[in-house]
């Protein structure tokens, strides 16, 4: 009787399992049936482009040479993950389901994901202790406090250049926000691209781990990818590369994070935007001070110290932004 009951229930169990629709979606995605090519997106008419760009964000084309193991799925809520690899680079293909339908499919290399230790409660408590210790050192006579005061002195000494950097970059963000009112569908597509990038690194896993873990994960990403890799490193090349990079980035950020899309949530998210964008403005300003001091005959070394001071101050702004954004996501949104 048990065998008969199991056989009768088997079709229902297979239908209710997320694995089979996820497997079918992964196969279709691998065969190129779900993803528009970048060439299609670029050649699309203005009417078709937003839809194709959003689909490109949700179903980015599989990398060439991708091998996919459909026999060993792992289910995490509404996500089904299949082991995959491109050559020696291992990772996983993630299928996001809603109502049994695939809403997103993408390949996530292992190296792109947030380190597993960042998602542990211990890491969250460690980040809290680090933040409190940093705050304590800023209130005491210490090198950390001395660097902070020196950084503020630098802003005062070059207030004209600092004001120019703020007006330019915040202004480009505002311009992007205004443009989104005229092209809301395209703005939503660009927003989907950003959402896909954040999901690809696994940041969604941190959202259910509490404020401490989420704050640490946000700081790790913004500091490593934003302030260091796309901030400090290009700023070392006499400031111009980081200025051009952030000019484009702020225009696109404003376009994707406009009140036209966020509505009332924009006001809630505004402190996060001000703090995070200020961090990148600071390192851009530091790169321009490096250029000014080098061109003015003071030497690259003095300019480098100015850049490192702005990098330090930017990290402090990102720390504050991470705590606010984690609270915002967990408690308000």
pLDDT digits (tens, 9 = 90+) for 74-96: 998 888 999 999 988 899 999 99
pLDDT of residue 41: 86
pLDDT of residue 16: 57
Query: Low-confidence residues of the chain, pLDDT below 50?
Result: 1, 3-15
pLDDT of residue 220: 94
3-state secondary structure of 97: strand
Helices (H), the chain: 2-16, 19-30, 38-43, 49-58, 121-139, 143-157, 159-182, 184-200, 203-206, 211-221, 233-235, 240-256, 259-262, 265-295, 300-327
pLDDT of residue 4: 46
Residue 185 and residue 86 in contact, taking contact as beta carbons nearer than 8 Å: no
pLDDT of residue 100: 82
3-state secondary structure of 297: coil
**Over the stretch 229-247, which tens digit does the pLDDT of each residue have?**
999 999 999 999 999 999 9
pTM of the model: 0.86
């Amino acid at each position: 009787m048990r065998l008969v009951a199991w056989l009768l229930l088997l079709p229902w169990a297979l239908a209710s399992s997320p694995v089979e629709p996820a497997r079918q979606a992964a196969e279709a995605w691998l065969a190129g049936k779900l993803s528009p090519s970048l060439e299609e997106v670029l050649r699309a008419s203005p009417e078709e482009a937003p839809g194709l760009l959003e689909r490109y964000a949700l179903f980015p084309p599989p990398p060439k040479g991708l091998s996919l193991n459909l026999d060993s799925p792992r289910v995490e809520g509404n996500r089904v993950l299949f082991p995959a690899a491109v050559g020696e680079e291992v990772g996983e293909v993630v299928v996001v389901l809603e109502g049994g339908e695939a809403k997103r499919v993408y390949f996530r290399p292992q190296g792109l994901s947030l380190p597993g230790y960042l998602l542990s409660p211990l890491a969250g408590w460690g980040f809290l202790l680090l933040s409190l210790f940093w705050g304590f050192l800023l209130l005491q006579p210490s090198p950390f406090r001395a660097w902070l005061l020196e950084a503020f002195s630098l802003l005062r000494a070059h207030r004209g250049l600092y004001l120019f950097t703020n007006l330019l970059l915040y202004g480009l963000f505002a311009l992007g926000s205004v443009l989104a009112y005229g092209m809301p569908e395209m703005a939503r597509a660009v927003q989907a691209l950003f959402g896909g990038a954040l999901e690809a690194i696994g940041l969604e896993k941190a959202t259910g781990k509490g404020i401490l873990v989420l704050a640490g994960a946000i700081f790790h990403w913004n500091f490593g990818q934003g302030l260091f890799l796309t901030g400090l490193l290009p700023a070392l090349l006499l400031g111009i590369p980081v200025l051009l990079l952030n000019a484009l980035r702020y225009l696109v950020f404003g376009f994707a994070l406009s009140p036209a899309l966020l509505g009332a949530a924009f006001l809630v998210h505004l402190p996060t935007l001000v703090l995070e964008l200020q961090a990148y403005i600071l390192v851009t300003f530091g790169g321009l001070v490096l250029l000014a001091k080098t061109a003015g005959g003071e030497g690259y070394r003095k300019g480098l110290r100015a850049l490192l001071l702005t990098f330090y101050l930017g990290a402090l702004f990102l720390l504050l932004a991470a705590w606010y954004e984690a609270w915002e996501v967990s408690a308000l949104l």
